[in-house]
């Protein structure tokens, strides 16, 4: 692992120009598109660990490479009644969550009832505490199966204000009273709950079993009937879970938002469609004419591959102090605009920091490294 050398304002600006010329050069690694679709499988997911009566797995903690901002990393909470280790592993396998967890360095927790028997109002508070302990809410997904579906569509429904999407499979008589807007995939769900969630999203039917809010298509509800939970989960990923994340950015920055205190419904934000980009990761790369090593990320719409030289505008987007370069590019709206207007987006790391390929280090507090006795300049 190499470190950046000291970079003054002048050398940084020069570096942008040199890096711009290299945007379409050979890449150090190209990422794929969006995370792979859920694959039908019944193979148990054998990586779960028991934690305080639940069963959890975190891909980032297990060394999974992070190719996009971890704001997009899904954090699944699965409610399906009381499960032992084998039952939890079998269920996560049937849901086919492994690929999206690994591709986005996400996490999953199979949440058992606190009393070991049935979900109660105490489990609502326990869920809020559990979700808050994972850090700022960004891409929380909730899955309810059978009695867990009744819990999600019943007692938990009013607390879905920070949840980026839900999937339920089964359920009997829950009515989703007090539910806020939330993207939802409802399979074999009680009609009262279906009606309540469609109404909360202000959605109207736009296709068979598909409802959308005319002003905000991310407020989407898919109503399905399927006997196969694996097929239902695959459809949910394609139509709901891969489309958006959810953060609180209105009264405070999302990373300072306490989900137990800020309870107004959080805004929805779209996940860029990475399948429409040639995505290039450059870690500690040399640039002709400059000393040191540079890190940046390139997002080139695939349809521009044959564009004439010098014909495509380049947007250079800079992150804030000690923030994540990828988060700036992927959550700022520039990628969506790039697809609309045929732009290339480059997101450079502009501070003297150590960057390890595939890690989530950029989102942590980074140590600034500078030669002894030399000043460190930030771009104003």
Q: Is there a contact between 175 and 192 (Cβ–Cβ < 8 Å)?
A: yes
The pLDDT tens digits along the chain (380 residues) read 333 333 333 333 344 444 444 443 333 334 444 555 555 555 789 899 999 999 999 999 998 888 899 899 999 999 999 999 999 999 999 999 998 998 899 999 999 999 999 999 999 999 999 999 998 889 999 999 999 999 999 999 999 999 999 999 999 999 999 999 999 999 999 999 999 999 999 999 999 999 999 999 999 999 999 889 999 999 999 999 999 999 998 878 888 889 999 999 999 999 999 999 999 998 888 888 888 888 899 999 999 999 998 899 999 998 877 678 898 899 999 999 999 999 999 999 876 555 455 544 433 322 222 222 222 222 22
DSSP 154: T
Distance CA 72, CA 330 (A): 9
Tokens 């979900």 belong to which residue? 119
Residue 183 in contact with residue 211, Cβ under 8 Å? Answer: no
Q: Residue 136 in contact with residue 112, Cβ under 8 Å?
A: no
CA distance 351 to 322: 8
Predicted model pTM? 0.83
Residue 122 DSSP one-character state = H
Say which CATH architecture domain 49-270 belongs to.
3-Layer(aba) Sandwich (3.40)
For residue 194, the surrounding DSSP H or E stretch is helix 191-200
pLDDT score at 269: 95
Main-chain dihedrals φ then ψ at residue 188, nearest 5 degrees: 60, 40
| Domain ranges (residues) in the chain | 9-32+273-363, 49-270
Residues 317, 33: Cα–Cα separation, whole Å: 21
């Amino acid at each position: 692992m190499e470190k950046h050398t000291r970079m003054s304002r002048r050398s940084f600006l020069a570096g942008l120009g040199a890096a711009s010329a290299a945007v379409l050069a050979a890449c150090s690694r190209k990422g794929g598109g969006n995370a792979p679709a859920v694959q039908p499988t019944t193979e148990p997911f054998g990586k779960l660990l028991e934690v305080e009566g639940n069963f959890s797995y975190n891909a980032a903690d297990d060394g999974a490479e992070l190719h996009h901002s971890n704001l997009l990393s899904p954090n699944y909470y699965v409610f399906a009644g009381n499960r032992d280790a084998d039952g939890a592993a079998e269920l996560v396998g049937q849901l086919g969550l492994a690929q999206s967890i690994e591709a986005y360095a996400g996490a999953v927790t199979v949440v058992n009832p606190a009393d070991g028997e049935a979900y109660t109002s105490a489990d609502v508070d326990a869920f809020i505490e559990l979700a808050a302990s994972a850090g700022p809410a960004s891409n929380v997904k909730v899955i309810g199966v059978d009695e867990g579906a009744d819990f999600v569509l019943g007692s938990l429904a009013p607390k879905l204000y920070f949840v980026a999407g839900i999937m339920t499979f089964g359920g009997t008589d829950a009515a989703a009273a007090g539910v806020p807007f939330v993207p939802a995939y409802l399979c074999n769900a009680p009609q009262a709950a279906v009606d309540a969630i469609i109404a909360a999203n202000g959605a109207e039917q736009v296709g068979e079993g598909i409802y959308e809010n005319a002003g905000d298509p991310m407020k989407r509800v898919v109503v399905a009937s399927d006997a196969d939970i694996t097929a239902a989960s695959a459809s949910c990923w394609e139509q709901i879970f891969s489309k958006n994340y959810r953060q609180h950015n209105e009264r405070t920055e999302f990373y300072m938002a306490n989900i137990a205190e800020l309870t107004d419904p959080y805004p929805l934000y779209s996940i860029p469609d990475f399948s429409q980009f040639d995505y290039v990761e450059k870690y500690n790369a040399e640039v002709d004419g400059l000393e040191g090593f540079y890190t940046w990320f390139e997002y080139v719409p695939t349809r521009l591959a044959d564009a004439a030289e010098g014909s495509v505008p380049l947007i250079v987007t800079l992150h804030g102090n000690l923030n994540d370069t990828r988060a700036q590019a992927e959550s700022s709206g520039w990628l969506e605009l790039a697809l609309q207007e045929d732009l290339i987006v480059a997101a450079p790391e502009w501070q003297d920091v150590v960057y390890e390929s595939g890690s989530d280090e950029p989102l942590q507090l980074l140590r600034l490294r500078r030669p002894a006795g030399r000043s460190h300049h930030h771009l104003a």
